[in-house]
Amino acid sequence: MLDSEIDVFQGIYKEKEWGLWASLCLSVSSQLIRVYYGGRDEHWVLGHTCAALKSIDDIRSLRLMTAVKTPYLPNGQIDLESYDNLVNMQIANGVEGILVAGTTGEGHLMSLNDKVMLIAHTVTSFGDKVKVIGNTGSNSTSLAISLTEQGFAVGMDASLQINPYYGKTSMEGLVAHYKSVLSVGPIILYNNPSRTAQDIPPSVVEILAQNPNFVGIKECIANERVKKYASQGIFVWTANQKESHEGAIGDVSLASNLIPSLMVKLMNEGMNPSLNSKLIPLFDWLSLEVIPIGLNTALAQLGVIKPVFRLPYVPLSRERRVEFVKLVKQIGRDHFVGEKDVEVLDDEDFIIVGRY
């Protein structure tokens, strides 16, 4: 077996009352990773073996990836039934990739076990239909490496890696951090200075792009940066919804949770300024508060998830909830996920959970 090979012989994860319950034991050598998930009422996850993990070219071909929402039960645990429904609707509408436990999916509010379990569940349930990208970054290099190894061990296609936040580092430290994580497998960098308070400048990206495990970058800086990378042959996905159809190879989308068919059309059918303009009011509404507050509120009002929020997130105001119903009617209910009528939820309809 090559040093780069990762062989997962067996893994078990337990789904009980649609919660994620597991004990995780990771044993790592230079040639072998074994992951065990213990508990009663187990479902076996088949092992995965690959020399270079999955094809980087396949990942680079993705035009639209949805940063999928993680829904909750009233007790705050992950609602896998609703999660599966959300992912199935994405696949049915032509979305090519699913980002698991990203900022939109509230990976920062998950235990490490739950994050790996959700990646494993997504791979097992949907890995033959869609590419699975796991958000396994951290501001701790050691933790980022460990979590990324676990994500690849359960079969994810690539990892999304934020740069170290809060405890920021120098540019030299940033390069060293990413080179350490890139040694594990295919990586998409994630540059979001509004959350990390540190930009990943082009000078750093250009160095890291020489690494064979560098897939590309999810870029939140304005489209001038996106176009610069594209002109250099660096694969870049934008997180700027309003400009998602300009310059970038693709979009890691928030809005596609709500309107996957329209986002697929926007990304795959050439420039469509008319459709883009039609969707801008929705893009703006989703950004009224920090992500994912607007999305969580919207999906609850569409009836596709339970109206449960994990703190510190709380729903948008009633005034904003009324605005969303109007937007749905303007764009057309048939373009949105779910089959129930959209409704304005009252404050008492929401469940806010502080411990879960």
- Which residues have a catalytic role annotated? 190, 218
In whole angstroms, give the CA distance from residue 276 to residue 262.
9
- CA 142 – CA 189 distance, rounded (Å): 17
Q: Hey, what are 231's tokens? A: 């002109």
**Which residue is listed with tokens 């998930």?**
37
| Cα dihedral sign, 100-225-272-328 | positive
- Alpha-helical runs (H) found in 232-317: 260-268, 273-286, 293-301
Side chain identity at residue 309, one-letter code = F
Give the C-alpha separation, 351 to 72, whole Å.
10
Cis peptide before 312 (omega within 30 of 0): yes
**Cis amide prior to 292 (ω within 30 degrees):** yes
Q: What is the DSSP letter of 78?
A: B
SS3 category, 220? coil
